[in-house]
Amino acid sequence: MVGAVTFDLWDTLVVDDSDEAVRRASGLPSKVEARSRAFVAEVRAWHDVAEERARAALDAANEAFRHAWKVEHRTPHVADRLRDALARLDLAPTPGFDALVEAFASMEVVHPPRPCEGVVEALEALAGRCRLGIVSDAIVTPGSHLRRILEGHGLLRFFHAFVFSDEAGASKPSPRVFELAAEGLGVSPAALIHVGDREANDVAGPHGVGARAILYTGAVDRGADRTRADAVARHLGEVPGIVDRLLSVPR
């Protein structure tokens, strides 16, 4: 069978929050705190709003985003989240709103997370055998900027299709994202193998459209002993061999 392989991004291609150590070493606050400070500074530059009230508005907008992400399976763009935060203060977008959005969106581009061990070698091995794609949720950093992170690590060149949740209008484990990936890679969902680190998103999600799943535990093991994945990879170097084995089994 001719197949295609999709990868999650966070804790599969790059190590989530590995940039926080770089930020600490540079004397920078955490991303959460830096974003909160930036929002407060922008609001207070134009309006007489107490810092605590501005922070609370952003916290509430972040909570609304988490509901949309976890319950409704969609991830609104960071600009929509910041408009929500301002609306909770009865404010319209400020003169510096566009710059604030870019500051939020580019934070992980300026200090990118590090690649997972063995990622280049694994992708090189797979690229000669099948088409590759990415299916990833975009939480603060949008798909446009996630591409810049991948480009910076020399990974973008391996992929033929990208399904980022802010662009797709749906997030994992919605069937829609895996259907879009299969369509973009020119295969049926049954010919798709997805690699990721979360049971609900990266195993149950692809299984829901008839695709197969490899649980990757090299960055974080979130329950390999309980997984319903078709295989488990503890290092990305194991993935090409697992893919070959899965594709050799008739569906």
Q: Are residues 197 and 228 in the same domain?
A: yes
pLDDT exceeds 90 at position 174: yes
Q: What is the pLDDT of residues 49-89, one digit of tens each?
A: 999 999 999 999 999 999 999 999 999 999 999 999 999 99
- Residue 21: the pLDDT is 95
How many angstroms from the chain centroid is the CA of residue 53? 30
Question: pTM for the whole thing?
Answer: 0.94
**Pairwise CA distance, residues 208 & 228, whole Å:** 12
Q: Are residues 99 and 130 in the same domain?
A: no
pLDDT exceeds 70 at position 5: yes
CATH number of the domain where residue 133 is located: 3.40.50.1000
**Overall average pLDDT of the 106-121 stretch:** 98
**Pairwise CA distance, residues 91 & 71, whole Å:** 27
Q: Are residues 142 and 87 in the same domain?
A: no
Q: Which of 110, 140, 171 is the last residue of a domain?
A: 110
Q: Are residues 238 and 135 in the same domain?
A: yes
Q: In 13-142, where does DSSP find H-type helix?
A: 19-25, 31-46, 51-70, 78-87, 97-110, 119-127
Q: Are residues 85 and 143 in the same domain?
A: no
Q: Are residues 122 and 101 in the same domain?
A: no
Q: Which of 43, 77, 110 is the last residue of a domain?
A: 110
Q: Are residues 139 and 237 in the same domain?
A: yes
Give, for 5, the enclosing helix (H) or strand (E). strand 4-7
pLDDT exceeds 90 at position 251: no
Residue with tokens 């309006």: 47
Give the three-class secondary structure for 1.
coil
Q: Are residues 134 and 243 in the same domain?
A: yes
CA-based R_g, the chain, Å: 19
Residues of the domain holding 155: 4-17+113-247
Q: In the chain, what percentage of residues exceed pLDDT 70?
A: 99
Confidence of residue 128 (pLDDT cuts 50, 70, 90): confident
Q: Which of 110, 138, 169 is the last residue of a domain?
A: 110
Tell me the CA end-to-end span of the chain in Å, nearest whole number. Answer: 9
Which amino acid, one-letter code, is at 79?
A
